[in-house]
Structure 1
Amino acid sequence: MAEKLKVTQVRSSIGCKQNQRATLKSLGLRKIRQTVERDDTPQIRGMIHIVRHLVTVEEVTS
């Protein structure tokens, strides 16, 4: 059973560094309040860490 992470963008990427914008795009986030589910892997955790000030994260267990 793989854990999932529910990632929601809560702040705009305007004024952010280019690598932070690219990280949001690679997570699949384009708009504020958009939510995506991703597998809980070290790579995804690292991407979330880069944009931690722009997103909220919830763990989904099911």
Structure 2
Amino acid sequence: MAGQIKITLRKSISGSKPVHREALRGLGLRRINQSVLRKDNPSIRGLVFQVKHLVEVEEGA
């Protein structure tokens, strides 16, 4: 786990739980189809796991 991952918000956060909104804010995602590059580490993986139903992840980006 040393590279980067590309995280893209694919679904709306409307109606989602506050804990999921906080996880998306921590990842830096605000709008649908917005993508961010983050280091591949356990803390980022934990945030992605919480919102895996809302995002798409590309490894080695």
User: What is the aligned partner in structure 2 of residue 51 from structure 1?
Assistant: 51
What's the CA shift for 1:60? 2.0
Of all paired residues, the percent bearing the same amino acid is 47
One-letter amino acid of the structure 1 residue matched with residue 24 of structure 2:
L
Shift >4 Å, 4+ stretches? none
Q: Deviation digits for residues 3-29 of structure 1, max 9, x if unmatched?
A: 000000000010100010011011000
Alignment partners' CA distance in 2, 1:19 and 1:32: 18
Task: Please say if 1:25 is aligned against 2:25.
Answer: yes
* TM-score, scaled relative to structure 1: 0.92
Q: Name the TM-score, length of structure 2 as normaliser.
A: 0.94
Q: 5+ unaligned residues in a row in structure 2: which ranges?
A: none
- How many residues are treated as equivalent by the alignment? 60
Other-structure match for 2:11: 11
* Stretches of structure 1 lacking an aligned partner (at least 5 in a row): none
Larger Rg: 1
- Structure 2: which amino acid aligns with 1:44? I
